[in-house]
Structure 1
């Protein structure tokens, strides 16, 4: 997908496929979930959530992956994000990276990272934020609910 196609992709209705499963992440008390996204009957993109139990800074992150990510929400009270353009320049706490602030001009390649962000001032419980995120990226209400992140001891 090219950068000029991402805005159309984000505005179109998409759906989540299957039932997601949390797996152990690369760090202690970290869990990851990948949920396939269906667009016009085909896959290839996914919703990815990383959840950190007891982390002092990042509680969880949600990304719509083409890949790379084209929309991201980061929730954590101790987070600090520095924008490269003033939107404001520094954000403390929860924030999200919308495509509109990060899209290059024309038919360019999709950037590998989302450098610009806005403050996120809505509810931070993971289920409410998940509903907001799905609404922002055009994902229809999933038939499967977002499962609770597990305790480390319950993972296989």
Structure 2
């Protein structure tokens, strides 16, 4: 089978530079195959599992050769370039972990109740803490922020009712 020289490129990995052809797989992804077809007496013939053909638009298409779908006329047996590539794969630098965000307590923790609490227990806990932390009744400077947190937690658990 004859393939156009226009489909011939070079592998871009460092220390490889082998001649390859880009094909489109049945899944629609690009895959590099070695430039020349493999014959049955080639030493790596058992690894050559790609059937490559040129479609009506001039695109190279490839598929896996299986016993259910053997090589047919008009297809060339080729090897995926990943098997023979001698280049080194360039990997991106490791990602830095995102800075840890301070863990916000759950609404249940803010109100000091178990997660299995019913609406009556939620309301009782909110009212007790509201009386204790209300800025008009508690002169502590941090009480206002705690009161706001308790109010937000109650609104979250009750849906703003």
Task: Give the shorter-chain TM-score range.
Answer: under 0.3
* The structure with more helix, counted as a fraction of residues: 2
Q: TM-score, normalised by structure 1?
A: 0.18
- Flag the structure with larger Rg: 2
* The structure with more strand, counted as a fraction of residues: 1
